[in-house]
Amino acid sequence: MAPVLGYWKFRGLCEPIRLLLAHVGQEYEMKSYSFGPEPDFDRSEWLDEKFNLNLDFPNLPYYIDKDEGVKITQTVAILRYLARKHGLVGKSFEEITKLDIAEQFTVELDASCAEVWYSRDKEAFKQLEGKLSANLPVKLSQLAKFIGKNQYLMGDRITYVDFMLYSILDYIRLYDSSKLEDENVSTINNYLSRIEALPGIKKYLSSEDFSRFPFTEPTAQFGSSKPSK
Domain ranges of the chain: 4-86, 93-198
Q: Per-residue pLDDT averaged across 10-25, rounded?
A: 98
CATH of span 4-86? 3.40.30.10
User: What's residue 200's pLDDT?
Assistant: 98
What three-state secondary structure class fits 152? strand
Instruction: Give residue-wise pLDDT tens across range 89-146.
Output: 999 999 999 999 999 999 999 999 999 999 888 788 888 999 999 999 999 999 999 9
The CATH fold of domain 93-198: Glutathione S-transferase Yfyf (Class Pi); Chain A, domain 2 (1.20.1050)
Least confident interval from 9-23, 39-53, 77-91, 119-133: 119-133
54: left (phi over 0), alpha (psi -120 to 50) or beta: left
Amino acid 111: pLDDT:
96
Spatial CA neighbour of 165 closest among 83, 106, 114, 207: 106
CA dist 149 → 67, 97, 102, 155 (Å): 41, 19, 16, 8
pLDDT for position 229: 54
Helix (H) or strand (E) holding 215: none
CA 82, CA 163: separation in Å to the nearest integer? 12
pLDDT computed for residue 228 by the predictor = 65
Instruction: Judge whether 134 and 193 are in contact, CB under 8 Å.
Output: no
Question: Tens digit of pLDDT for each residue in 153-197?
Answer: 999 999 999 999 999 999 999 999 999 988 778 899 999 999 999
Q: Is 213 helix (H, G, I), strand (E, B) or coil?
A: coil
pLDDT at 54: 96
